[in-house]
Structure 1
Amino acid sequence: MTTTELCTPTPTHVIGEDAADAVASTLKALADPFRLRMLSAIATDPRGEACVCDLAELADVSQPTVSHHLKKLKDSGLLASERRGTWVYYSILPARKQAVTALLDAFAPAAIADAQAEQEDRATALAALDAKVEHLAAELADEMTHLNRNLVVTIVRESFAGLVRSAKLTQHMIPLTERFARQRLADLTRDRETGMPQVLFVCVANAGRSQLAAALVNQLSGGAVVARSAGSTPAAEVHPHVRSILADIEGEQDAAAAFPKPLTDDAVRAADVVVTMGCGDVCPIIPGVRYEDWAVGDPALASEDGVAAIAADIEARVRGLLAELCVPVDGDGA
Structure 2
Amino acid sequence: MSIQEAEQTTTEACSPVATHAIGLEAASSVAATLKALSDPLRLRMLSAIASDPRGESCVCDLAELADVSQPTVSHHLKVLKDVDVLTSERRGTWVWYRINPNRRGAVTALLDSFAPATVSVPGEDAAVDDGLRPDFDARVTRLAEELAAEVPALDSDVVLSIVRESYTSLARSARVTSALVPLTERFARQRLSDLTRDRDASVPQVLFVCVANAGRSQLAAALVNKLAGGKVVARSAGSSPADVIHPHVRSLLAEIEGDAAGQRFPKPLTDDAVRAADVVVTMGCGDVCPIIPGVRYDDWAVGDPALASRDGVEAIRDDIAARVRTLVDDLLSLTPSHQEQP
Q: TM-score, normalization: structure 1? A: 0.63
Partner of 2:71: none
Give the CA deviation at 1:195: 1.2
CA RMSD in angstroms, aligned pairs only: 2.7
**For residues 270 and 316 of structure 1, what CA distance do their matches in structure 2 show?**
25
1:172 match: secondary structure:
helix
Give the CA deviation at 1:210: 0.3
Is 1:65 matched up with 2:71?
no
Q: Which runs of 5 or more structure 2 residues have no equivalent in the other structure?
A: 1-18, 40-125, 337-342
**For residues 314 and 183 of structure 1, what CA distance do their matches in structure 2 show?**
24
**For residues 140 and 186 of structure 1, what CA distance do their matches in structure 2 show?**
11
Partner of 1:313: 319
Equivalent of residue 280 in structure 2, options 261, 274, 277: 274
**For residues 318 and 58 of structure 1, what CA distance do their matches in structure 2 show?**
47
Partner of 1:156: 163
Contact 1:192–1:271, Cα closer than 8 Å, also in 2: no
Partner of 2:135: 128
Is 1:258 matched up with 2:264?
yes
**For residues 150 and 69 of structure 1, what CA distance do their matches in structure 2 show?**
50
Cα displacement string for residues 296-324 of structure 1 (whole angstroms, at most 9, x for unaligned residues): 01101421110000000000000000111
Contact 1:204–1:279, Cα closer than 8 Å, also in 2: yes
Larger C-alpha radius of gyration, 1 or 2?
1
Partner of 1:18: none
Contact 2:222–2:253, Cα closer than 8 Å, also in 1: yes
Is 1:284 matched up with 2:290?
yes
**One-letter code aligned to 1:273:** V
Partner of 2:200: 193
**One-letter code aligned to 1:144:** V
Give the CA deviation at 1:133: 1.1
Contact 2:207–2:279, Cα closer than 8 Å, also in 1: yes
User: Percent of aligned positions with the same letter in both sequences?
Assistant: 65
1:278 match: secondary structure:
coil
**One-letter code aligned to 1:249:** I
Q: Which has the higher contact order (CA 8 A, sep 6+)?
A: 2
**One-letter code aligned to 2:23:** V
Alpha-carbon distance change, 308 to 119 in structure 1, aligned in 2, over 3 angstroms: closer
Equivalenced residues, count: 228
Q: TM-score, normalization: structure 2? A: 0.62
Is 1:171 matched up with 2:178?
yes
**For residues 256 and 285 of structure 1, what CA distance do their matches in structure 2 show?**
32
Cα displacement string for residues 260-279 of structure 1 (whole angstroms, at most 9, x for unaligned residues): 00001110110111100000
**For residues 210 and 29 of structure 2, what CA distance do their matches in structure 1 show?**
36
**For residues 30 and 301 of structure 2, what CA distance do their matches in structure 1 show?**
34
**For residues 278 and 121 of structure 1, what CA distance do their matches in structure 2 show?**
31
Partner of 1:143: 150
Partner of 2:191: 184
Contact 2:127–2:176, Cα closer than 8 Å, also in 1: no
Give the CA deviation at 1:120: 6.8
